[in-house]
Chain A
Amino acid sequence: MKKVHVTTNVNGDQVEFLADPRETLLDCLRNHLDLTGTKEGCGTGDCGACSVTLDGTLVCSCLVLGVEAEGKKIETIEGMASDGELHPLQRKFIEHAALQCGFCTPGILVAAKSLLDTNPDPSESEIRFWLAGNLCRCTGYDKIVRAVQDAAAEMRGAA
């Protein structure tokens, strides 16, 4: 099976890799680009652990083929902190103990950032429904929702 040469942009860096056309973007990020912060929990788009943005849209990277990334812009958890400064969501997740095992955390952070990019003041219900595709088995979501609310408030300058 001949591999396809893919050029794409991940977290602002131009990168290239060779993909088997059957490989998902998740496979390519993890196995070809060593970006293992994006996790696989199900491989079927049901758990959200592999959340990334593709040209600004939140997607499951397990439901995108690596070859589809050609010419796109991808943002992963590894690009969320900038210049050594954590994103407010990252900081609030630590402060609120919004993670236990931490495996779902990268996907939830990427998804939550995507929410706050479009809705700076989400209600509890809006947060819960936006994150419904991000499974967490440890926390019962309570502290996750609170951390997102608190980060949103801080980002609005309300905190």
Chain B
Amino acid sequence: MAKDEITKGYRLVGTRPNRPDGLDKVTGRARYGADFSLPGMLWAAVVRSPHAHAKIKRIDASKALALDGVKAVVTRADLPTGLEGEDLNLQENTLAGEKALYDGHAVAAVAATSQLLAQDAARLIEVEYEVLPHVTDVDEAMKPGAPVIREGAADYSVPEGMHPNVVRHMEFGHGDVEAGFAAADIVREGTYKTEATHQGYIEPHACVGQMGEDGRGEMWVCTQGHWYIRRMSAAVLGIEAANLRVTPSEIGGGFGGKTTIFMEPLTLALSKKAGGRPVKLVMSRAEVLRATGPTASASMDVKIGMKKDGTVTAGQVMFRMQGGAFVGMSPIGEALPCAFACYDIPALKHEAVEVLANRPKAAAYRAPGSPMAAFAVESLMDEMCRELHLDPIEVRLKNAAKEGTKSSYGPIYNRIGLVETLEAAKAHPNYAIRLGPNQGRGVASGFWFNHGGETSVSLAIGEDGTVQVSIGTPDIGGSRASIALMTAETIGIPYENVRVNVVETGALGVNEPTHGSRATFASGKAAVEAARQAIAEMCRRAAAEWEIEPEAVEWKDGAAQPAGPNAGKFPPMTIAEIGAKMGGTGGPISGHHETNAGGVGASFGTHVVDVEVDPETGRTTVLRYLVVQDAGTAIHPAYVEGQYQGGAAQGIGWALNEEYVYGSDGRLQNTVFLDYRIPVASDLPMIDTVIVEVPNPGHPYGVRGVGETGITPPLPALAAAIAEATGARLRSLPMSPPKVLAAIKAKRQA
């Protein structure tokens, strides 16, 4: 039931104009979280637990409060009690209660007249701990005798007999897996591990908060979603959402990590205690790495049955994931559906458990759960392709999900573009380049659902016919440009005549954050709907002036026009003319749309990577990298490419060198960028991209969302490439040089 594919040939959609925020960002004028200041502002600092797991016996702030210029200290005792569920988790993470649950867990906060003074005061706050046994590894945390992190935290889904740290259990599937494995020529199993990684946005969390004794407050904060900040901060502090106005700053990267609160409510609590003076809190990099949400770590069993021709007959996974010391933070609910989403397999069984560990509260990270799942499943697929001497792209094509396939997680796919990405990868010159000694090539595909979500957008026509669009999804990667393009395309005016603003919580209905690859999709779709509403009103104004029926007016090229010869003979009435007169023709003209955006189109991509591995040191050099991904429609292709390249770079980092390293004392060992090794410019080659466009029928311009999928294939693709280069298969990330060298040596000895 293919719907008609959307005709290309737009005037603006698909072009590459300069982004509206570009000038501010290249001149240093753009204001990020830490750039905002207010008169009378205080600075805050946070006291954090040096222990992975400890009872908090006593907090004594008297020495800090005795310093001149120290205005307020808050501890958990200053926050309301009686919270439940995720609200309690948020409060518990904002300030520890009875126990510190991880190294870096906030215990107290202080506000003073300067940043240095606040930091000095924080060092003077005495906290007495009773250190408890801790556990940071997901497999260790499930073993009998592992320290129990939170008693009674498990929900009803957990089968009896499991360790109390196992707090959620999930399973689903279809078909008869045993019959599927029996029908296979080879059945292989493997266990794969991925370490936690951090989103690694370069801008640390920053917030200015002000709250008076009346409980009314304001926040200026770097976030992916200021309504989330409002709801969560209000819950943690026990105030009403409407009494809190939250204004987002420009955001210096988020990747999912800025969709929740970590320290933001502390500014309000401190401000209220300090007589309503605004309070600024900016995290250090070490605080970001220790105490803001990294992704989960995972330990995963996979079993796949394959026929000699590459047909997959059955698949089975068991995932164990920890997302810190808080229930509900591991992405098992996303990882499982992503595991086999690329394939049409008759029998599948998925199972997962979430396990608590003494680590920070995990947050979303670009396609949460999908990269881990892909590392496990795509790696085993690749191992089996090699064993059967089958081309990895051909095997993927043979099993690929298409329109009408019942997906691994239930719904039937509408039009999707996995096959197109595989064909494009196969046809790309990179796939034909001959490799030299110690070089290898890896291929993998990836998936993300994409997301619609709660969205509210307003649009207003100016007196000169220019258009202002108010959106509630902070712009991380150029979405203001893409939304301006779609709005201008819809109305038929120049791109430069549309200004898109990200507005504060007081200006629109609730918006979900910019997450799940939804901003260009959902805010874009709502902006188009709002534009259509304004167009309808402008047609009515023209009809009234021409004294004809509104139905007899059509909108074309930025102007109202009589719809055909029978409507009458009038010259087109431009948006500028209508805007200039609107005060006298019925008042302001605007459009508004709010929705829980449906029509989401799934995203698929295929990556091809070539590496060279130094056989004497185990170091991997990425020689060339190709990202092929279905964008649906690339509204602003340069920023689509940017998402592909950025996602690939993060995936390469995750695959090769990024990891959370905990010492035996449970403390995070690598709290600076020197040792938390994100890729630097000299680590990467140019990243080639191919934008496949299989328009999403659920969006007026065919948008799918492009942000997430790109981080997923690099993990298994690099493992496959390293395996080809060295003969050694690594099933544990990161594939850092010591691990690769050890694997090479083990292979040689075997």
Let me know if chains A and B touch directly in the complex, using CB atoms closer than 8 Å.
yes
Q: Which residues of A contact B (CB under 8 A)?
A: 20, 22-23, 27, 30-31, 35-44, 46-47, 49, 76-78, 80-81, 86, 90-91, 93-97, 99-106, 109, 124-125, 127-129, 131-146
Q: List 7 A-B contacts (CB under 8 A).
A: A99-B26, A127-B681, A133-B680, A136-B202, A138-B477, A141-B684, A145-B686
Residues of chain B lying within 8 A (CB to CB) of residue A138: 253, 476-477, 642, 646
- Are B32 and A39 in contact (CB-based, < 8 A)? yes
Given pairs A20-B114, A125-B682, A143-B638, 11 additional interface contacts (CB within 8 A): A36-B35, A40-B282, A41-B252, A44-B674, A46-B673, A94-B22, A102-B24, A103-B252, A128-B682, A128-B684, A145-B686
Cβ-defined contact, B687 with A40, below 8 A: no
**Are A94 and B252 also in contact (CB < 8 A) when A43-B285, A142-B686 are?**
no
- Shortest A36–chain B CB gap in Å is 4
Q: With a CB–CB cut-off of 8 A, which chain B residues contact A105?
A: 25-26
Q: Does B116 contact A (CB under 8 A)?
A: yes
| Contact assessment for A77 and B252 in the assembled complex, using a CB-CB cutoff below 8 Å | no
Are A103 and B32 neighbours in the complex by a CB distance under 8 Å?
Answer: yes
- Encode contact with A along B245-264: 1 for CB under 8 Å, 0 otherwise: 00000111111000000000
Taken residue by residue from 647 to 671, chain B's Cβ proximity to chain A (1 for < 8 Å, 0 otherwise) reads as 0111000000000000000000000
Are the C-beta atoms of A86 and B26 separated by less than 8 Å? yes
Q: Which residues on B sit within 8 Å (CB–CB) of A146? A: 686
The residues of A that contact B282 with a CB separation of less than 8 Å are 40
**Any A CB within 8 A of the CB of B639:** yes
Flag if A102 contacts B250 (CB, 8 Å): yes
B115 CB–A CB distance under 8 Å: yes
Check: B38 CB closer than 8 A to any chain A CB. no
Given the complex of chains A and B, what is the CA–CA distance between A90 and B477 in angstroms? 18
Partner of A40, one of B204, B636, B681: B204
Q: Does B19 contact A (CB under 8 A)?
A: yes
Name the CB-closest residue of B to A125.
B682
Interface flag for B85 (CB, 8 Å): no
- Decide: A132 and B680 in contact? CB cutoff 8 A: yes
Q: Which residues from chain B contact A35 at a C-beta distance below 8 Å?
A: 28
A79 nearest in chain B by CB position = B28
> Restricting to B158-216, which residues have a CB under 8 Å from any CB of A?
199-204
| Nearest B residue to A124, CB-CB | B686
Give A132 to B476 CA distance when docked, in angstroms.
23
Complex CA distance for A99 and B23, rounded to whole angstroms: 11
Asked whether, in the complex, the Cβ of B681 is within 8 Å of the Cβ of A100, the reply is no
Kindly state the separation between the CA atoms of A43 and B288 in the bound complex, as whole angstroms: 12
Inter-subunit contact B26/A140 (CB<8 Å) = no
B18 contacts chain A at the CB level, 8 A cutoff:
yes
Q: A40-B34, A42-B673 are in contact. Are A49 and B22 (CB under 8 A)?
A: no
Write out the residue numbers on chain A whose beta carbons fall within 8 Å of the beta carbon of B684.
128, 140-142
Interface string of B213-244 (1 = CB under 8 A from A): 00000000000000000000000000000000
Q: Which residues of A contact B16 (CB under 8 A)?
A: 97
> Chain A contacts of B116 at CB under 8 A?
20, 22-23
Whether B678 lies near A100 (C-beta < 8 A) is no
A140 to chain B: which residues have CB within 8 Å? 642, 645-646, 648-649, 679, 684, 687
A101 vs B199: C-alpha distance in the bound complex, in angstroms? Answer: 14
Would you call A135 and B26 a contact (CB within 8 A)?
A: no
Q: Do A101 and B251 form a contact, CB below 8 Å, given A44-B672, A137-B202?
A: yes
Chain B residue at minimum C-beta to C-beta distance from A77: B28
Asked, given contacts A46-B673, A95-B18, A137-B201, whether A77 binds B681 with beta carbons under 8 Å apart, the answer is no
Q: In the complex, A37 Cα to B29 Cα: how many Å?
A: 6
| Cα A156 to Cα B476 with chains together (Å) | 33
B648 contacts A103, CB within 8 Å?
no
B27 within 8 A of A: yes
Is A31 in contact with B681, judged by CB distance below 8 angstroms?
no
Q: Say how far B279's CB is from chain A's closest CB, in angstroms.
A: 15
B residues less than 8 Å from A145 (CB atoms): 681, 686
Which partner residue on chain A sits nearest B250 by CB separation? A102
Known: A47-B202, A135-B673. A99 touches B682 (CB 8 A): no
Tell me, rounded to whole Å, the shortest Cβ–Cβ distance linking A82 to chain B: 11
A139 engages B646 (CB within 8 Å): yes
Across-interface contacts of B638 in A (CB, < 8 A): 96-97, 143
Q: Is the CB of B642 within 8 A of A100?
A: yes
Please give the distance in Å from A86's CB to the nearest CB on chain B: 7
Contact B682 A129 (CB under 8 A): yes
